[in-house]
Structure 1
């Protein structure tokens, strides 16, 4: 009995790629075209570089790459071992970007304590810590040949749940960061609520929410649709007509 990719899955993968591209474009526009928003009188040019790198690393490096690692099992051809290897490396690069992205916030004049006070910062630290633990567990249970099959089977549901939960937490953390930044700009710098920058940031938050929906739904959707199921559906439709 033949199998084909589910049309709904293909549509979700396409929408996830479009949303991911839109997120990358919007965060680049925000970070590069509105650099003055990341620069305060107390910051040096080196501090400005760290401030601009933070959203780029956390959104493009951490969120987009970790989302792509989730989708690898949905679209990448090849053996299961090859898919697991690509998944592992993409998650590893995303983890490196996340760690470096947090490190950029601890650099500069204000130091660690001054940058670790908000809900956004707390959620970010928890998210990257969970992600690191998830990566280590995934490596030990799904890549290391010495682990038993029974252990891998027991860990798999928790690995999938924690992976999707951590990804959703990363999206939520990014949303709180965007809200925090826009609130600061509007209250401290009198930036208009209808300014171009506010619209860019709001659009970025909206597309991030859409991206998470597409990625998570694609991850839990059936990968294949049997030809027999398609024929039965067609026969039922014809009979009903």
Structure 2
């Protein structure tokens, strides 16, 4: 891997900021708010920020960069795709539970649902995230999908996944700010009480984690090198064969079509594995 030390630094920074964000959101609800419960009260609502940070931010970020880890490059690509999909599915499950907690709390407290921009964008993000998972499973985990379809959709799959990740962080920042504005009465949010400063730091950690993940996943030299390595090996093998075939005998030529067919079949199988 090119710039391996830089990659390790980015990976450690992502792990640190992501872990701190989880610690901060747990400290927020356990120390400054009413803790965690499932009783229809404010403690049930607190599951929402906790599960969103753990699921749609930390786990989704982990799933996004899982293919960049060089010690996984020797693993079968299909295995890595299943791990990638499982992390996304777990993140989606936590997001659904956190959303149920919000609706349950609102209904118990007679608070209207879906009135804020945060709620609109949040539901949209969860819906699109579900669609992204379904399309990804259909295209890349079901073997009947044509390889040409996988290759054609891959740039869009990666692009929309990154956009959704950034969008989720933006929606989370809107949500924690909204909660502070409504939840802090005396002193008010504008007076910068300790809770407000603490949660603002949480927001900074979320932004930092997102920035590091996006930087890591968009650097081409850190991409899983299946395609490049295969192309390089095939080219080197071809050059070696050409050197060995100085003045080939005519009796060897009939075998060439079968060898070429075999090579072509291997190339097709390798391309299928990469997508």
Residue 52 of structure 1 aligns with which residue? 46
Render the CA deviation track for 1:132-173: whole Å, top value 9, x for unaligned. Answer: 000001001111111010000011000001100000010000
Q: Is the 8 A contact 1:37 1:185 kept in 2?
A: no
User: What per-residue deviation string (whole Å, max 9, x for no partner) do you get for residues 180-217 of structure 1?
Assistant: 1121234x443363322111110000110111000011
After superposition, the C-alpha distances for 1:15-63 in whole angstroms (9 at most, x for unaligned) are: 1101101101100100111124999xxxx95323321111111111221
1:100 CA drift (Å) = 1.2
- 8 Å contact kept, 2:181–2:188: no
**Aligned position for 1:170:** 168
Structure number with the bigger relative contact order (C-alpha 8 A, sep ≥ 6) is: 1
Matched with 1:214 is 212
Contact 1:23–1:207 under 8 Å retained in 2: yes
The Cα RMSD (Å) is 2.5
For the residue of structure 1 that corresponds to 2:145, the secondary structure is coil
Contact kept? 1:4, 1:224, Cα under 8 Å: no
Contact 1:164–1:216, Cα closer than 8 Å, also in 2: yes
Corresponding residue of 1:132: 130
Equivalent of residue 102 in structure 2, options 105, 112, 121: 105
Larger Rg: 2
Count of aligned residue pairs for this structure pair: 219
TM-score, normalisation: structure 1: 0.83
Which runs of 5 or more structure 1 residues have no equivalent in the other structure?
227-241
Partner of 1:160: 158
Kindly indicate whether the alpha-carbon contact (under 8 Å) linking 2:29 and 2:46 is maintained by their aligned counterparts in 1: yes
TM-score normalised to structure 2 length: 0.73
